[in-house]
Amino acid sequence: MQNPIATITLNNGSKIVLELRPDYAYNEVCSFISVAQKGYYNNFAIQRIVPGSWIDASYNAFFRKECQYFLPNRIEEESKGEIKIPEFGDVCLGYFSDTEIAGAEFFFPLQRVEALKGKCPVFAQVIQGAEELHRIEKVETYPNPYEPVEINVPRNPEIMVTVEVETFGVDYPEPEKIIPEKMPENWPTFA
């Protein structure tokens, strides 16, 4: 069976192509596919750049109530004990706690990050467009002083115009989700 392929088209016309890895993180791949197929990643400006560390596509669940959920942390089980250490060229879901993983927020590590092993599951690899990550890492940013962590926002928006997934005829189910009782402080509140 061929792994799904995701294509992120940026506002400059460049593409970042990902091979999704259900063999590393099945539920996480299902989550990414679900969010992408519903269009929740489309027309979203990358929110956070930490040069030398990572590029976060979102820091606040894409401002969407539908993206405000977690996944159970089953990295050890899903990887059969062969947990991949996040490094440049990987794509990971965000960390929330030792038992919960951010369900929709994803990031690109810009270096090997041993401290995230077992916390931020690698669910994809960049197979085309890695040079765009190097370019984005170097764009001019400004700090967001209202956030509790280092948030460097691109001065000129770097927008994911579309995120499309080819599953090669395989139906991936909705992910198993955890809806938090208390929302993270950086997630928007909806009435």
pLDDT, tens only, 31-61: 999 999 999 999 999 999 998 999 999 888 9
Q: What's the total number of domains in the chain? A: 1
Taking phi over 0 as left and psi of -120 to 50 as alpha, with beta for the rest, 89 belongs to left
Q: What are phi and psi for residue 63, nearest 5 degrees? A: 55, 25
pTM of the model as a whole = 0.94
- Please report whether residue 140 resides in a domain: yes
CATH of the domain at 66: 2.40.100.10
Structural domain that includes position 30 = 5-166
Q: What is the mean pLDDT of residues 62-82?
A: 90
- Please report whether residue 176 resides in a domain: no
- Please report whether residue 184 resides in a domain: no
Question: Residue 101 forms beta bridges with which residues?
Answer: 71, 95
- Please report whether residue 51 resides in a domain: yes
